[in-house]
Copies of this chain bind each other. A is one copy, B any other.
Amino acid sequence: MTQGDMAKPLLRTSSEGVPSFTSTSKMAIGILGSGDFARSLATRLICSGFKVVVGSRNPKRNAGLFPQAAEVTTQLNAVNQTELIFIAVFKEHYFTLLELKSILAGKVLVDVSNSTDLKHQTESNAEYLASLFPDSIVVKGFNVISAWALQSGPRDGNKQVFICSDNRDASAKVCQIARTMGFIPVDMGSLSCARDIESFPLRLFPSWKKPFLVSFGLFIFFYFYNFIISVLHPYLTKNQNAFYKMPIELMNVTLPCVAYVLLSLVYLPGILAAFLQLKNNTKYKRFPDWLDQWLKHRKQLGLLSFYAAVLHAVYSLCLPMRRSARYELLNDAYKQVQAGKENAWVEEEVWRMELYVSCGIMALGMLSLLAISSLPSVGSALSWREFSFIQSRLGYVALMTATLHTLLYGWKRAFDKNRYKFYLPPTFTLTLVIPCIVLLSKLCLLLPCVNRRLMQIQRGWEKKAGSQVLEGLGCFTDSLPCESISNV
């Protein structure tokens, strides 16, 4: 039963004012195979109001496995009764259906299989099926849906179903069936897309690989850098044993460096893109691939930055509860008493810490808003302006606050040469490099003259007369992906 079926009666309603509920009987759909998927599919199709005919090699044995309403018969019978058949059989057994070739001719075969491996895949299962049954119309689809999702019904988040076929009508028909079942069909075009669709369930965070490697690299680098400065140096020079710092204190100084640099890497590509556009004096020249890639991975970089920042927060909050902190405090108290020093207060130290901790909390608070707005359900509810406001404006404010956090933490230490262990500059000075570059170049881009020029370019105006109409839309619609460019 599909929406299409309903068109008639509804049209009648409006034309003759009398609906007819007789024109369409239940549409019959065939299923070949009797695995979990076949069964769940049958259950769901019947619940969605379709007539289901299951073709099985051994109807008697398998009838019990299917819902009552489903007719379980021989493969031959099943195919004869239906025009649209789901092939719920492993690829390696497609050949066993060749005996049905003649009667399958002209009918729609829905290939629901997944590719078992991505490596040695020559052609998609669907294309293989199509090659076996050239006279049938093969549609790829439903492979991203699990037998479980089929049974549990669409209640748990309406999942998308990717569909493709060389026959528009067939794919549209399958689209409707999917919609009637409560899924959201997405027509991916011709059957050549089948390979992508089949490999979809095998994806493993492709868009996260590079950002993760970058973050991991940064982590390793800063961890060892801090290790040399705050563990190795005291050990070699003063023979102090500070190895106990490795699990927590080193983590706690390393994570903010990672978070801070990652955050700046979110906004650097936008800056570069803007300068490129200014240089090329057009927005229609494609960016170099590496920049394109980078722009595409900003969201992931931002989320990893947030994750590192949160861990940093938790680690620092744990500092005072550690035994080591307690013992140091006790020893200090002892020293103070011995020294007869009544007041340990150091005003400057107090202010420094109050200020940088406060900045840190604020930066984290803003980052958390960025993270929340990155949730699919939240982000999709935002208008482009809201989205770019949070991702670009708020993001830059967060970056500035983080910079302030770092500078206040550093205080005057950058200029105290006792801080240069092994002639290595304190870690925080290293982390400041990229963020400051980003913030300064952003400042340049905000200069009225530069900004106006940039807006024009991004709006599509160019130096050619008469060509303006051709530039078409894109000023707003475009700004969503590269908010840090066009919302400068």
Contact B316–A344 (Cβ < 8 Å) = no
Known: A1-B169, A147-B474, A316-B321. A176 touches B383 (CB 8 A): no
Which residue from B145, B334, B471 sits with its C-beta under 8 Å from A342?
B334
Contact B6–A6 (Cβ < 8 Å) = no
Known: A169-B6, A329-B326, A477-B143. A13 touches B83 (CB 8 A): yes
- Neighbouring B residues of A203 by C-beta, 8 Å: 383, 385-386
Residues A165-193 near B (CB distance < 8 A): 167-173, 175-176, 179-182, 184-189
Interface residues contributed by chain A, number (CB under 8 Å):
173
Contact A3–B172 (Cβ < 8 Å) = yes
A323 at the interface (CB under 8 A from B): yes
Contact B318–A361 (Cβ < 8 Å) = yes
Which residue from B200, B334, B389, B480 sits with its C-beta under 8 Å from A148?
B480
Which residue from B19, B334, B350 sits with its C-beta under 8 Å from A323?
B350
Main secondary structure of the interface of A (DSSP, over half): helix
Known: A2-B172, A320-B321. A472 touches B37 (CB 8 A): yes
A234 at the interface (CB under 8 A from B): no
A347 to B241, CA, bound (A): 10
Known: A24-B15, A389-B204, A473-B90. A361 touches B311 (CB 8 A): yes
A248 at the interface (CB under 8 A from B): yes
Contact A469–B96 (Cβ < 8 Å) = yes
A358 at the interface (CB under 8 A from B): yes
Return A292 CB to nearest CB of chain B, in Å: 12
Q: Mark A307-330, 1 if CB is under 8 A from B, else 0.
A: 100010111111111111011011
